Amino acid sequence: MWTHSKYGYDALGNRLRITLVRTAYYPDADSDSGTHHIRYALVPHPGSWQDADIPRRGLEFNQPLVVGSSSDGAVGSHTPVRPLRSGLATVILAGKKRACDTNGVVVRLYESGGRAGNVRLSGVPAGWSAREVSIVEDPVGPLLVEHGEVELAFSACQVRSVLLES
């Protein structure tokens, strides 16, 4: 059994449809065959999808919090960084990974609601530096770390990557 999200849907007026199983025979004659266990959620809400924070709700539904065995929040044994985000609610912490060419940690964030605003990335260890990098970790520019926090200004739908280094 495969577990994955179902993203086939359409909405028109007061009608909402979701496609749960694919029935095509090409290029995979066995596509979606077998038993399926499907879980979905409907989130009625007043106002816009941005006000209802639908992207975050979708992430929380599709990727529930999993408690791991690491007690120090480390990416590796030597990088105890636990980034937290505060500020503009539509900015989502998309990932944290070990940097490719340094002993640093890359934190990726994106704005999901088409809004501009500021966020604070906290949890930067004392003595660490921060700089913005591209998606392939090329340097973009330095960032100021004050009291273990980095202030970031986001424009609508912007993706930003921050490299934290000791």
Q: Where are the domains of the chain?
A: 84-165
Per-residue pLDDT at 42: 85
Q: pLDDT for 147-156, tens place per residue? A: 999 999 999 9
Spatial separation of the C-alpha atoms in residues 62 and 65, rounded to whole Å: 10
Most confident stretch, 41-45, 60-64, 129-133? 129-133
pLDDT of residue 53 exceeding 90, the answer is no
pLDDT of residue 129 exceeding 90, the answer is yes
Cis before 27 (ω within 30): yes
Per-residue pLDDT at 25: 74
Q: What angle do CA 134, 90, 53 make, to 5 degrees?
A: 140
Q: How far is CA 160 from the centre of its chain?
A: 11
DSSP helix/strand/coil, 58? helix
Spatial separation of the C-alpha atoms in residues 57 and 39, rounded to whole Å: 14
pLDDT of residue 56 exceeding 90, the answer is no
Q: Are 114 and 157 in contact (CB under 8 A)?
A: yes
With residues binned 3-state (H G I as helix, E B as strand, rest as coil), the percentages for the chain, rounded to 5, are 5, 35, 60
Q: Are 83 and 109 in contact (CB under 8 A)?
A: no
Which of residues 49 and 3 earns the better pLDDT score?
49
Spatial separation of the C-alpha atoms in residues 155 and 116, rounded to whole Å: 4
What CATH architecture does domain 84-165 belong to?
Sandwich (2.60)
Q: What is the mean pLDDT of the chain?
A: 83
For residue 102, count other CB atoms closer than 10 A to its CB. 13
